[in-house]
Amino acid sequence: MSGSPDPATRPWAYLSAQALHYLFFAVRGQQFLRRRATLGGPHWPAFGVPGAGVALTIDDGPHPEWTPRMLDLLDRHRVRATFFLIGDRVRERPDLARRVVAAGHVVGNHSMSHPQPFAALTRARIRDEIAGTQREIEQAVGVRPRLFRAPGGNWSRDVLRTTADLGLSAVDWTVNPSDWRSPGVPRITRSLSRGRAGQVLLCHDGGGDRSQTVEALETVLPRLLDRGLRFVTPEEGG
């Protein structure tokens, strides 16, 4: 989730992208309160999944320490997740990307370098960021992603149009514990435990120390499973 402003962005585009960023805070809050979150389409990202399942999504990897620990955790609880990978990190550690796929998880596209605000980039740069990550992931694991999540959830008409043009489905989230800020295990646990059927949970395995996320999920996953929730992927929902 974290990232610094891209120096190539223009001031007006930066301000517009920041406005969209804060608008989506309100949208996600409304989505969380809805009985069923919006499933999305070519002109709007998916905030939820159909049916009785809940989707666990994990951003910003692969990371040499936290991705293996996350995979071990998911394996213990037999939970299938969606990993939104950063292209530069896949290039550095293709073995970890392969391990994610070998474990039965879905891999998605999370841009090449995670620039922010993403919507302030030129359309050409947006396309390069997404297309480059498609190539890196496909070369590493032999699978072409079908899902894209904008860095920071910073969507715009150009971002959504480019996503669709490249044959990808846009995925946002419903429940965000802000684990990238390391707010403490209790807060992450409380936030994720509120997840319910049809929602998309956001977590991270890259971009910093993710020990709090791993520890929180040790409690959250069995708690949600005990409530009868089934873990699905946005790809299954699509």
CATH number at residue 160: 3.20.20.370
Instruction: Give 80-101 pLDDT, tens digit per residue.
Output: 999 999 999 999 999 999 999 9
Is the residue at 202 inside a domain? yes
Q: pLDDT value at position 13? A: 79
| Domain assignment of residue 1, yes or no | no
Q: For residue 65, is it within any domain?
A: yes
Structural domain for 32, as ranges: 11-237
Cα separation, 158 vs 180, whole angstroms: 26
Active-site residue set: 59, 204
**pLDDT of the chain along its 238 residues, tens only?**
544 455 455 677 788 888 888 888 899 999 999 989 999 888 899 999 998 899 999 999 999 999 999 999 999 999 999 999 999 999 999 999 999 999 999 999 999 999 999 999 999 999 999 999 999 999 999 999 999 999 999 999 999 999 999 999 999 999 999 999 999 999 999 999 999 999 999 999 999 999 999 999 999 999 999 999 999 999 875 4
Count of domains forming the chain? 1
Q: So what's the pLDDT on residue 4? A: 47
pLDDT at res. 6: 56
Whole-number pLDDT of residue 129:
98
Q: Is residue 2 part of a domain?
A: no
Task: Look up the pTM and report it.
Answer: 0.93
pLDDT score for 208: 95
End-to-end distance of the chain based on CA atoms, in angstroms?
24
Q: Does the residue 3 lie in any domain? A: no
Counting Cβ atoms within 10 Å, is residue 94 exposed (0-12), middle (13-18) or buried (19+)?
A: middle
| Domain presence at residue 5 | no
